[in-house]
Amino acid sequence: MNVLLGKTSFTPEEIDDLRDRLKAHKEKTGLAWSQMAQITGVPQGTLSSWVPGTYNQGKLYESHDIAAKIHRFFLKLEERDALEAALPQEPDFQLTQSAKRMMTCLAMAQLGDMALIATPPGCGKTASVRQYAATRSQVFIATMSPASRGVQTMLIAVLSALGEKDGKGSPAFLSARVRARLTRAEALVVLDEAQHLSAQALEEMRSIHDETDCGVALVGDETLHANLKRYPQLYSRLGVRHVQPRPTAEDIIALAKGWGVERGPELSFLQEVGRKPGGLRTLTKTMKLAVRSARAGGAPLEVADMRDAFAQRFGETA
């Protein structure tokens, strides 16, 4: 089956219009030509001469490839804006029962302790960490990944979270910089997704904590707790722990209330969804699509909308 390429030829007036629109978009967003090249797929040198009209010695209308790419770029923006306008706004942060406990762990850690928060996805740990950081000073979040598993890469990520972007040098040099930055800072360093870290990286962070008295919070999925138990010297440093197998019923009710659902079959359905893998995250994704569908039809939100949204999102019936 042949692919329909859409519009591929343009009049001089259409090309001039695209150039004007792209110039206006650049001015509105403040993006550099290099950034514009990344989002349009047109090389920087081409863009920076095509828009002013100097490209190909001013022969702008002979080639339509550039115009086609810019045309597709604006189609993508229009589609994105339409989708975002139709999506409902998520509720503000909900201080659930579990969120209160997690934020207490973070507060205890910032007094100079080490904390552990380990839950499956969808229990609200990352939202709780971000809310805590947004309302407290000297809280620095470094999100780990398989790429930052080792000591050196972990230290580079921590330095970046501390606002120091030039993380270069040996592990010993980077560690010295982190220690100098955290000594007497009364800071909390949160290592989110800490299950990705190697034993050596975790031990390095423990050593930094011991020397600087900075707070450290290790935040990750349910495997993190089991992994830490294998390292007694590190595990014994954990002054406070929050380990949770799933969202609580109170958590689900609180989030449902944030979406305006407080009773009836709709609440019962959301309680069912919140207990599924992904927990509160699954509930939120379901509600975003369900509310959008109900609004499009001009009808009140019903369980049928939620069931359809869940099936569309996750490929199964709830």
Q: Which residue has the tokens 């299950």?
A: 195
Specify the pLDDT at position 118.
97
Specify the pLDDT at position 154.
98
Specify the pLDDT at position 316.
73
Read off the pLDDT of residues 141-162 as tens digits, 9 standing for 90 and up.
999 999 999 999 999 999 999 9
Tell me which of 295 and 302 has the higher pLDDT. Answer: 302
Specify the pLDDT at position 2.
62
pTM of the entire predicted model: 0.80
pLDDT-derived band at 84, boundaries 50, 70, 90: confident
Read off the pLDDT of residues 102-136 as tens digits, 9 standing for 90 and up.
999 999 999 999 999 999 999 999 999 999 999 99
Specify the pLDDT at position 151.
98
Specify the pLDDT at position 297.
67
Distances (CA, A) of 273 to 92, 203, 285: 20, 38, 10
Phi, psi dihedral angles at 211 (to 5 degrees): -80, -35
Q: Mean pLDDT, to the nearest integer, of 269-275?
A: 94
Distances (CA, A) of 74 to 40, 93, 204: 9, 33, 48
Say how far apart CA 137 and CA 150 lie, in whole Å.
28
Q: Mean pLDDT, to the nearest integer, of 275-296?
A: 89
* Average pLDDT over all residues of the chain: 92
Specify the pLDDT at position 3.
60
Q: Mean pLDDT, to the nearest integer, of 215-233?
A: 94
Specify the pLDDT at position 57.
84
Specify the pLDDT at position 268.
95
pLDDT surpassing 90 at residue 89: no
